[in-house]
Amino acid sequence: MPADVHPTLPAAIRVSDEVRAALDEGRPVLALESTILTHGLPQPRNLEVGLRSEAEVRAAGVVPATIGVVEGVAVVGLSRGEIERLCTAAEVVKASVRDLPIARAKGLDAGTTVAATAWLAHRAGIRVMSTGGLGGVHRGAAESFDESADLPVLAETPITLVSAGVKSILDIGATLERLETLGVPVVGYRTTRFPAFTVADSGFALDYRVDSPAEAAALARARDEFGQRAAVLVANPIAADRQLDPALHDRVLGEALAAAEAAGVTGHDTTPFLLDRFQRATGGESLEVNLELYRANVALGAEIARELAG
């Protein structure tokens, strides 16, 4: 067991009985983030998606571990009541790894980002996680130094992460360069084209692909054999016939970036501003595509978790 994975975790981290029993017995577990529920989806759609995702993971023979913070305690394997709380409470913050001590000290409720979810999942001993889109390097980062904490955390967290690439509002080329520099293996799932969240092809090529959950699991095992610390990123594109129309995407992105600049929106406010513009400009279509790709990533993550447990 790696030195940073503890069989007895501190009081600040609580693993549910269901998740702990599955891990102790070597059964497959899939980690799921909670910011998609707390900050990515409107009510009551967020609760519907959270509960449905867990049900689909269980139907695949895998134990779901939705991760979030409840009254300052990081919970790995939220109960139904805790998911309902985070989906409906008025004051829920967004917590990356740096925010966990603050949430703990102040007794806050929080949705956990990809970075915090992956870090907590690994601490608990979970080997696979699914999300929608990964964070990355923001446009104009050469001046702003604006880069998601997802990237450096994944460089030090040996988990297998399934995502639909990174959000297209980011600087995808720079993000791929950073992932290479940080030593994070990136493979396409049945493709050598890197996806851009709601669009299947970002325009950037990948050197390698895996064509089955078994291949993805083999890659994770090979990483472990070398003793490497970085995550394995499995980029799972949305089906081409379900993606957001690329021409519509490009037009809306250009308009949204111009609007953000005109409004003086910068820093951590940029992503929610741009995603909101996307949702409104596409009549909600971008939200439906987001949910479609998230569901596919959860299904693939469950299959990989089964392979690794097997």
Catalytic residues, by residue number, are 33, 167
What CATH number was assigned to the domain covering residues 1-126?
Answer: 3.40.1790.10
Digits of tens for pLDDT over the chain (310 positions)?
A: 454 655 678 999 999 999 999 999 999 999 999 999 999 898 999 999 999 999 999 999 999 999 999 999 999 999 999 999 999 999 999 999 999 999 999 999 999 999 999 999 999 999 999 999 999 887 766 666 677 889 999 999 999 999 999 988 889 999 999 999 999 999 999 999 999 999 999 999 999 999 999 999 999 999 999 999 999 999 999 999 999 999 999 999 899 889 988 998 876 677 778 878 888 899 889 899 999 999 999 999 999 999 999 8
Q: What topology does CATH give the domain 132-310?
A: Indigoidine synthase fold (3.40.1790)
Q: Which residues neighbour 232 within 8 Å (Cβ) at sequence distance 6 or greater? A: 159, 160, 161, 184, 185, 187, 216, 219, 220, 223
Q: Where in the chain is the domain with CATH 3.40.1790.10?
A: 1-126, 132-310
Q: Which residues neighbour 302 within 8 Å (Cβ) at sequence distance 6 or greater? A: 28, 30, 56, 57, 60, 61, 62, 130
Task: Give the phi and the psi of residue 186 in degrees, each rounded to 5.
Answer: -120, 125
Distance CA 96, CA 82 (A): 19
Reported residue count of the chain is 310
Closest CA to 30 of 236, 290, 299: 299
